Amino acid sequence: MTVVLGPNRYGKAETRVVRVTRDGEVHHLKDCNVGVSLSGDMEEVHRQGDNSAVLPTDSQKNTVFAFAKKHGIGEIEEFALLLARHFAGSQPTIHHARVAVEEYFWERRGPHSFARSGTEVRTCVVHHDRDGTSTVVSGLRDLVLLNSTGSEFHGFIQDEYTTLPPATDRVLATAVTARWRHVPDDGSKSYDFGKSYEEVRRCLLDAFAGTHSLSLQQTLFAMGERVLATRDEICEVRLELPNKHHFLVDLTPFGLENDNEVYFAADRPYGLIEGVVLHNDAPPPGPAWD
């Protein structure tokens, strides 16, 4: 039996880079976490420990910092594409680069003062081959949403282990993780990733707020469908929606009636609803979701 080397990659994970741009007294802040993964002609380093094909992960980290200085950090997708194209194009042994970026938001409190705003994180993952092919997946995570009514859950399977009562008026809460794949750029498009992010986020919020939900699955599909119906540059949306359960508290021992007013917010266990919504003619994803 012959042993062969399967798919592999290596890189520098979680390079935290903060870029301050000084515009006189007014400063602008970009706070990012960058992960780089490279693959290519890596047979001999795995079999023999021959490092001649390897760009050190420390060099990858230094490149992130140097590019932040030389080019600044605008939209994170653009920064990721810049890095990925550099890594796949500058070394003959590197055939493919994957760059993932998280951006943490800060609220301006003065010309050069900031406060970290909420838990929401903007994300992107870029893949780039040395032949020039790129894929871009943008996204967000930890977008916490809640509807205090307009949600039901009934008509489900009931077996000998079912204790959950049907609900016609419940709290629906979740912490959204959403990722969306851009239509590949054939050179005829010019993406405004910043505007795209804001509009996709707005679609997710509007669909969540505007859907009378009979199940969280229905809400998930409505959110993805709204994005695809509104944004031509997006061909596929993947969503993860944990069901952040809110249970009515029994106040009868205290002689009090609880008319959908007081809830216990349970952090675990929780339902986890996941799904993909895409155009039926969406182009093949290639490595986009890897």
Rounded CA-CA distance 253/20 in Å is 57
Rounded CA-CA distance 40/54 in Å is 9
What's 206-234 look like in SS3? Answer: HHHHHCCECCHHHHHHHHHHHHHHHCCCE
Token pair of 261 as six digits = 């007013």
| Distance of alpha carbon 284 from the chain centroid | 20
Rounded CA-CA distance 222/213 in Å is 10
Rounded CA-CA distance 249/10 in Å is 50
Catalytically active residues are 12, 57, 245
- Let me know: does 216 contact 243? Beta carbons within 8 Å: yes
- Let me know: does 200 contact 234? Beta carbons within 8 Å: yes
Nearest to 30 by CA among 38, 20, 43: 20
Alpha helices per DSSP H over the chain:
43-48, 57-71, 76-90, 193-210, 216-230
- Let me know: does 132 contact 152? Beta carbons within 8 Å: no
